[in-house]
Every structure is written in C-alpha cells, then in structure tokens.
Amino acid sequence: MATWHSAENILCIRLDTIGDVLMTTPAIHALKVSNPRRRITLLTSSAGASVASLVPDIDEVIIYGAPWLKATAPRLNSRPEYEMVEHLRQLNFDGAVIFTVYSQNPLPSAFLCYLADIPLRLAHCHENPYQLLTDWVKDPEPENFVRHEVRRQLDLVATIGCYTKDERLSLPVTAKALTIVDGILRKLGVEKQRPLVVIHAGATAAARRYSPEKFALVAQTLVVDMGMQVIFTGTELEQELVDQIQRMMKTNDLTQNSQGISSGGKFYSLVGCLNLSELAALLKLSSLLISNNTGPVHIAAAVGTPVVDLYALTNPQHTPWSVPHRVLFHDVPCKYCYKSICPEGHHQCLNLVTPESVVNAACELLSGTQPKEEMIVGAKQLDY
C-alpha cells in the first residue's frame, strides 16, 4: 500500500501565477527536506513556470493552462486534458499535493490525478471528495479563520508529516543577474550610498491598481522633496502606465540614453528591460519596494527587501511574508470581494489611501522605525 512516508516522486499542483507559486515554496521545501530522495515536479501555469524554474526545490516544471482557472484564456478547439492525463500517468508519480486558495475548488485537479492513477492525492476541500482524494483536509477557511497563504500550504503538508524550520520564500538571486543589474545601475548613474526605491505600478487585476496620479505624487515626493532615487519597473504592456506617471511628476523632463532606458533627474524606468531573474536582482540591490499587491511584492519578500504594499481588499491572504513591510488600505464594507474589477465602482479600498501615508510608510521602513498610528493617514494596516 502506498504511503506518503515512502513516496519519492511527487507532483505538486499550483495552477496560479508568480506570487502564488512563491508563497507555496516553503511547503514545497517541507516536502523536499522530509525525504531527501524526493523528486518534485510542479504543474503550473505559464506565468507560474517563469518563477518555478528558479526555485531549487523544484526538479521539473510542467506547464498547463487549466480551464477552471480564471486567468486561462478560453479554448476554441483544443482539449489537452486527455493528453495531460496520459502524460501524468507516464511519469508514475507516487503522490500529488494540490495547493489552492480557499476560494478555489481542488476537485478538477484531483480528478486529473485520479484519472492519471496517482495513488496518493492530498488537498484542502470544503466538500467531501470521496475517492478523488485519498487525504482530505476539511477546509476550515473562511468559516472558522483565515490564514496567510504560506501558512495554509505549510499546514496542508504538515498533515502528511512534512515540516521545515526554514519557512522563507525560496528564490535565489544568481551572480549573473546581480552582475547584469549592477552594470545597468552604474550606467544609469545610480548612487549606491543613497536610498534606491523601486515602484511597481502595474497589476493584472484593475481592482488591485493604485491610481497613476497618486503614484506620481508618491514618486515626486520621494525624488524632489526627499532626494531619493526611484526606479519604475513593469512589463512592456505597462510602459504606457509608467510613462503617464512620469509625465504627471513635477520634476525634470525625461531624457533617453543609448540603451533606450529613460531617466529623468533622480528617477528612472526599467520597464520591459528585465527578465524575472534580473528583477529579483534589482529588488535585492534596492532599499525598498512600493507596489500594488502583485508578483513583485512576493519576489521582494523572497530576497529580503522591505515592502510598502498597496493592498486592495480583494482578499486577506497575500500580504508580504517574513520581511519588514507596511500593508496600506482603507477599510470598506465590501472587502474581500475576490473580484478583478471593483464591483462597487468606487475602488475606495485603494483610492482613499493618501500618497502621504505611502511616503510615511516608506520612510519608516527605510529608517527601520516602528509605525506610528498618526502617520498612517487615510489608511490602515493588515498584519498576521
């Protein structure tokens, strides 16, 4: 009879994106160290795969766009589920661990593993899964309590005897990436002796985006009034957003250097210039990240960089883990809506967070001081 103690070929399923995969790495580490002979394969989305390939505890990555995940584009003709079942069967996994947030149903993934003849199948589940799971952990969230996402996954693998004392997010920064980014910063003229603040203004979900006008005021205050250096990051699709923010800042006009990296006074843009490994290196070399609640928050947490997290109250589980941080939001009756677009249309959980409160939180983290309630203007903090 198959047992988790002897299981060495493990499939982990986390079908979400970058931040979700990173928040699962402590649990994956617990699986790995509990049996050093274990081989870990992660089944994840294409976005999740971009960071999973950098995680040392993950031996192999399989990319799969699950139709029961909202980020997966609609399919017109292909139905790859049959091929995926056969592929998983051929890999002869001893067990599968399905990682989900409490608002997700694990049963489609469990059925995939059941059809692939994976003998051990573990997941949180609200309803009785009967034969689809061999190890059913009745999901206590959100009825009884709500945990941080990292703690939720650590608790899941603990039910099969897998633990770790190292609960940090896992994302090593390579020497190559550090060298490349250090060279970019030198070409930009960034001074190492002065604070370097990264601002990430984008997010895939509109409900999680702080306004460009307020981001501009934050950046302007840091650069003009406080003499700091600011670097904007983002994907190529977020170039227009960052351009808009920079135009709103009342400071020197932008100039363009020969590498196509724009800079203006003491603020710069590396939008579309960095791969994921290089973004991790930039955050490692920076003093602070100011960001919407999105992937770079968890990358910063993984490399130990403090974070000011502009936290739209779409869910309560994804605050920065094990790193100095300030989580800023305005409390609203409609919180924890789990919506990508604000259902009320007012976006007040972020719109009522003032730029002054963001700057104050940044200054506290940069100075290493504890937060003062009177300094959090128009915002509250969410901590576990």
Task: Tell me: pLDDT of 314 over 90.
Answer: no
Would the CATH topology of 9-158 be identical to that of 175-375? yes
DSSP 380: B
Can you tell me whether residue 45 is helix, strand or coil? coil
| Whole-number average pLDDT of the chain | 89
Report pLDDT for 93.
98
Task: Tell me: pLDDT of 370 over 60.
Answer: no
Strands laid side by side in the 325-328 sheet: 255-256, 262-264, 267-269, 229-233, 196-200, 288-292, 307-310, 325-328
Report how far residue 252's alpha carbon sits from residue 249's, in angstroms, rounded to the nearest whole number.
9
Task: Tell me: pLDDT of 104 over 90.
Answer: yes
Report pLDDT for 132.
98
Lowest mean pLDDT among 292-301, 309-318, 334-343, 346-355: 334-343
Task: Tell me: pLDDT of 276 over 50.
Answer: yes
Between the two ends of the chain, the Cα-to-Cα distance in Å is: 40
Report how far residue 91's alpha carbon sits from residue 353's, in angstroms, rounded to the nearest whole number.
50
Task: Tell me: pLDDT of 379 over 70.
Answer: no
Higher local confidence (pLDDT), 8 or 80: 8
Q: Please answer whether residues 195 and 67 qualify as being in contact, where contact means their C-beta atoms are separated by less than 8 angstroms.
A: no
* Residue type at position 126: H
Mean pLDDT in residue range 163-181? 96
Of the chain, the percentage scoring pLDDT greater than 70 comes to: 90
Report pLDDT for 384.
43
Report pLDDT for 316.
80
The tens digit of pLDDT for each residue in 213-232 reads 999 999 999 998 888 999 99
Chain centroid offset of residue 235 CA? 15
Q: Which fold would CATH assign to domain 175-375?
A: Rossmann fold (3.40.50)
Higher local confidence (pLDDT), 75 or 42: 42
Q: Please answer whether residues 121 and 135 qualify as being in contact, where contact means their C-beta atoms are separated by less than 8 angstroms.
A: yes
Per-residue pLDDT band for 344 (boundaries 50, 70, 90) equals: low
Q: Which fold would CATH assign to domain 9-158?
A: Rossmann fold (3.40.50)
Mean pLDDT in residue range 320-332? 89
Can you tell me whether residue 309 is helix, strand or coil? strand
Task: Tell me: pLDDT of 264 over 80.
Answer: no
Report pLDDT for 348.
82
CA angle centred on 130, ends 128 and 132, rounded to 5°: 110
Residue 254 token pair: 């932008």
Task: Tell me: pLDDT of 383 over 70.
Answer: no
Torsion 325-328-331-337 (CA) sign? negative
**Which residue ranges make up each domain of the chain?**
9-158, 175-375
The tens digit of pLDDT for each residue in 45-68 reads 999 999 999 999 999 999 999 999
What is the enclosing helix (H) or strand (E) of 307? Answer: strand 307-310
Report pLDDT for 4.
96
